[in-house]
């Protein structure tokens, strides 16, 4: 009986060691989260022993987790801030950025709205509350319902930094807490203006040209469209070649990886 027990314990230890060999902790942006999820799902199929967890707590939390060594890969929808970088280096962590995809933030209006092009200055004035009627930008006489993402979203951060140029949002701006909700509000509100990721463009909302450039895969990935940003994976140093982290961070280069990026509504980097 005792012998059996000992054998059982030894066996479980041996197999346990074999199983717990590889884990991959991913933490960070809610925007990059879907890409990480899709990659992780594929990796789980290919490497059944691999234990991957993907958390979506926000870019700032992802950076903090990488600095504290709580994750192997931090997903971020913006580059690391100076302070985060300094904290990391002080903690003997050297953040290395891998761009996995490009996200375009598209300014959308109701399909019935005749306005089809706006300049960034006009959009800024609309969001600052200086322009309140569509007739001021060549549209019908209709009050503008301004819809923004909540201030803790990565999409808000991109829009705010690329369009608002330090201007404060007006007090009449409405806030919604997800891309689908922003889409739903614009779709159902005649005078609405909003912004969503390019994955959320469809026939129910109309994307306007920004500074004379229509959002498309090509204009976004080449940087011609002004409201676009790269999406990052951050690792501590460049991952060891052949390691799981390395495979994960270069997966976007494969055909399957690009397919997944596109399926999630983002633009693969090679779409020139």
Partner 1 sequence: MDSESPTLTLGPTAERRPARGGLALTPGEDLLGFVGSYLGRALLFLITGTSVLAVLLILFFVVARSIPFFRDFGIGEFLTSQSWRPTADEPTFGALTLIVGSLYVSIAALLFAVPVGILAAVFLSDIVSWKIRDIVKPVVEILAAIPSVAYGFFAVLVLAPWMQSQFGFSTGTNALNASVILAVMALPTIISVAEDAISALGRELREASYSLGATRLETMVKVVIPAAHSGIIAAVVLGMMRAIGETMVVWMASGNATQIPHPWWDLSQSIRTMTATIAGEMGEAPEGMPHRSALFAVGVVLLLMTFVLNIVSEYFLSRARKATGKS
Choose between 119 and 167: whose C-beta lies nearer to partner 1: 167
Choose between 108 and 176: whose C-beta lies nearer to partner 1: 176
Q: State the minimum distance, in angstroms, from the CB of residue 86 to partner 1.
A: 14
> Could you say which residues in the range 153-192 bind partner 1, by CB under 8 A?
166, 168, 171-177, 181, 184-185, 188-192
Q: State the minimum distance, in angstroms, from the CB of residue 230 to partner 1.
A: 20
**How many residues sit in the footprint of partner 1 (CB under 8 A)?**
25
Distance CA 120, CA 208 (A): 11
Distance CA 154, CA 60 (A): 10
**How many CB atoms sit inside 10 A of residue 186's CB?**
28
- Out of 22, 49, 68, 150, name the contact with partner 1 by CB under 8 A: 150
Distance CA 230, CA 99 (A): 6
Asked if residue 257 binds partner 1 (CB under 8 A), the reply is no
CA neighbor of 139 nearest in space, from 108, 116, 173, 120 = 116
Distance CA 165, CA 174 (A): 19
> Could you say which residues in the range 57-76 bind partner 1, by CB under 8 A?
58, 60
In this structure, are residues 31 and 197 in contact, taking their beta carbons and an 8 Å threshold? yes
- Going from the C-alpha of 259 to that of each of 12, 31, 82, 222, the distances in angstroms are 39, 17, 33, 19
Q: State the minimum distance, in angstroms, from the CB of residue 265 to partner 1.
A: 21
Binding mask 30-59 for partner 1 (x = CB under 8 A): ----------------------------x-
> Could you say which residues in the range 98-117 bind partner 1, by CB under 8 A?
none
- Going from the C-alpha of 221 to that of each of 252, 256, 267, 269, the distances in angstroms are 15, 19, 7, 7
Asked if residue 143 binds partner 1 (CB under 8 A), the reply is yes
Sites of contact with partner 1 (CB under 8 A): 58, 60, 142-143, 145, 150-152, 166, 168, 171-177, 181, 184-185, 188-192
């Amino acid at each position: 009986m005792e012998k059996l027990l000992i054998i059982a314990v030894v066996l479980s230890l041996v197999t346990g060691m074999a199983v717990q060999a590889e884990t991959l902790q991913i933490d960070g942006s809610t925007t990059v989260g879907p890409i990480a999820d899709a990659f992780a799902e594929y990796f789980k199929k290919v490497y059944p022993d691999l234990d991957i967890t993907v958390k979506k707590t926000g870019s700032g939390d992802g950076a903090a987790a990488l600095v504290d060594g709580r994750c192997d890969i931090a997903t971020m929808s913006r580059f690391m801030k100076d302070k985060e970088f300094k904290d990391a280096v002080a903690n003997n962590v050297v953040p290395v950025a891998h761009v996995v995809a490009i996200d375009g933030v598209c300014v959308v209006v109701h399909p019935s709205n005749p306005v089809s092009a706006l300049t960034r200055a006009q959009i800024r004035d609309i969001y600052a509350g200086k322009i309140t009627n569509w007739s001021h930008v060549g549209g019908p006489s209709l009050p503008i319902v301004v819809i923004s993402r909540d201030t803790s979203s990565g999409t808000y951060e991109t829009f705010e930094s690329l369009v608002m140029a330090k201007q404060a949002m007006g007090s009449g701006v409405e806030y919604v807490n997800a891309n689908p909700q922003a889409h739903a509000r614009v779709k159902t509100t005649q005078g609405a203006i909003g912004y969503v990721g390019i994955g959320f463009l469809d026939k129910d909302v109309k994307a306007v040209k920004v500074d004379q450039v229509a959002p498309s895969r090509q204009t976004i990935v080449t940087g011609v469209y002004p409201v676009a940003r790269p999406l990052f994976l951050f690792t501590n140093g460049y991952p060891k070649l052949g390691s799981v982290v390395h495979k994960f961070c270069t997966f976007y280069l494969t055909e399957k990886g690009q397919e997944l990026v596109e399926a999630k509504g983002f633009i693969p980097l090679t779409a020139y």
